[in-house]
């Protein structure tokens, strides 16, 4: 019943008419689908076919895979569009942003952040610094020398990221930045928004 036609509903609708010769069903016979009563019934059930299809479509709007008409309502619910996205966006981009926002509600592990970045079209790896601790760390091991507060940072490495650098004789002072990481700014905005409150993601482009 997700997308019925008038023909799909016709049999059940004809069964609701009284029986007898006047209604084309003498001696309990089935009503002919070519009869005038069947043609009249088709007209009556046509709006119900549209209603069934519409109700099914609205039911699918309760999940991300079926969103169409209710996209603005979903965006309001999840605070979209947010300040990480600027300019005009297509419906496909809005749906992708909504999917990423919904799925980001459960982000807690490095792999969750990697998956979230992939939804925005980025391939990243995450490195969590471990600071050398006397009596615990081993010389030549994986722990690095630094301030213990550096453990609140985690390093985001973006692969295949195009970076534009300021070029003397070509770039313009006051107009071109020293370097531009393009859409990675949007990615970092998203990651910083969902990162644990005591941590700060830092971008390094490979």
* Residue 35, both tokens: 């009869």
Backbone angles phi, psi at 125, to 5 degrees: -125, 155
Q: What is the pLDDT of the chain when averaged over all its residues?
A: 79
Which is more confidently placed, 136 or 158? Answer: 158
- Residues in contact with 3: Cβ distance below 8 Å, sequence separation at least 6, in sequence order: 52, 53, 56
165 touches 117 (CB < 8 A): no
Sheet of strand 124-127, all strands in order from the earlier edge strand to the far edge = 124-127, 153-158, 200-205
Q: Give the span between the Cα atoms of 88 and 21, in whole angstroms.
A: 65
Which is more confidently placed, 162 or 65? Answer: 65
Angle at CA 33, nearest 5°, toward 31 and 35?
75
Which is more confidently placed, 162 or 14? Answer: 14
Within a 13 Å sphere around the CA of 159, how many CA atoms are in the beta-carbon half? 8
pLDDT band at 91 (very low <50, low <70, confident <90, very high): confident
Give the strand pairing for 179-180 and 164-165: antiparallel
Which is more confidently placed, 133 or 175? Answer: 133
Summarize pLDDT for 176-191 with one digit per residue, the tens: 555 455 567 778 888 8
Which of 93, 194, 114, 120 has the alpha carbon at shortest distance from 156?
Answer: 114
Residue 88 pLDDT > 50: yes
Q: Which percentage of the chain shows pLDDT scores above 90? A: 3
Q: Give the span between the Cα atoms of 159 and 4, in whole angstroms.
A: 48
153 touches 196 (CB < 8 A): no
């Amino acid at each position: 019943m997700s997308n019925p036609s008038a023909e799909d509903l016709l049999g059940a609708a004809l069964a609701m008419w009284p029986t007898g010769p006047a209604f084309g069903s003498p001696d309990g016979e089935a009503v002919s689908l070519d009869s005038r009563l069947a043609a009249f019934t088709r007209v009556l059930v046509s709006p119900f076919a549209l209603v069934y299809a519409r109700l099914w479509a609205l039911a699918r709007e309760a999940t991300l895979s079926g969103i169409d008409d209710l996209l603005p309502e979903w965006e309001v619910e999840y605070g979209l569009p947010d300040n990480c996205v600027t300019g005009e966006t297509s419906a496909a981009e809005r749906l992708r942003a909504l999917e990423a926002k919904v799925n980001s509600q459960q982000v807690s592990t490095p792999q969750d952040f990697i998956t979230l970045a992939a939804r925005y079209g980025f391939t990243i790896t995450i490195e969590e610094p471990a600071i050398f601790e006397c009596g615990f760390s081993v010389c030549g091991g994986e722990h690095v020398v630094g301030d213990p507060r550096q453990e609140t940072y985690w390093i985001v490495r973006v692969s295949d990221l195009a970076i534009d650098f300021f070029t003397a004789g070509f770039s313009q002072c006051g107009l071109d930045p020293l370097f531009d990481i393009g859409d990675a700014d949007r990615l970092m905005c998203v990651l910083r928004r969902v990162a644990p409150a005591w941590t700060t993601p830092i971008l390094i482009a490979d």
